[in-house]
Amino acid sequence: MSPTEDAPPVMNAEATHAQDASWLVMLVQVPSEPSRHRVAVWRELRRFGGVPVGQGTWTAPDVPVCREGAEKAQHLARAGNGELILLTTSSSDDDAEKLRALFDSAREDEWAEFAADCGKFTDEIAREIAKRRFTLAELEEEEQSLDRLRRWARSIRAKDVFGSPGASGAEERLAACAVALEDFAGRVYQQLHS
């Protein structure tokens, strides 16, 4: 599998609709106990790219992937005897630009964290090569780490409806990870068959 084989263009399919999108504003109240309901709502909000803007208040562009996620979070809140009030702003609203900036900043932060983890991955591969630790167990561990990075990239890509500038650099880092792992795998197989 190539490093970006499953990668769509930097700006995903939602982006053409998102440029002039109105915004979802979600007001969330879920009882603190049992915490599993509050955590489930929080995870769903994060999964589709919701951005916290204040205590119990989240926002996201009003595009299908985010609206579906917001509706799922609304059901989860109700299941926990809570409430998620879903409001929609106009795309011409003066605050829409501020909401867009918050959303873009959150995606950039995610891509930066992802790129940093890619750096840690390539550093780890370099350490294993320096130690000459060419074992199948080590190779398997590194393959699992790369799979985790690929899943994480897909997750961020799905939320990045505006195509953040940091996405292309992160994709390059992911490709570098795949190249590093391929080099390491070659060394492992060479060690095993020598």
Query: Each residue of 125-170: pLDDT tens digit?
Result: 999 999 999 999 999 999 999 999 999 999 999 999 999 999 999 9
pLDDT of residue 160: 94
- Per the listing, tokens 């979600």 go with 26
CA angle 39, 14, 3 (to 5 degrees): 80
Query: Hey, what are 33's tokens?
Result: 């106990």
pLDDT of residue 132: 92
| pLDDT < 50 stretches in the chain | 1-18
pLDDT of residue 93: 67
What's the per-residue H, E or C state across 85-119? EEEEECCCCCCHHHHHHHHHHHHHHHHHHHHHHHH
d(CA 26, CA 135): 50
What three-state secondary structure class fits 163? coil
d(CA 162, CA 19): 7
| Inter-residue contact 80 to 31 (CB < 8 Å) | yes
Q: Which fold has domain 23-89?
A: Alpha-Beta Plaits (3.30.70)
d(CA 42, CA 109): 18
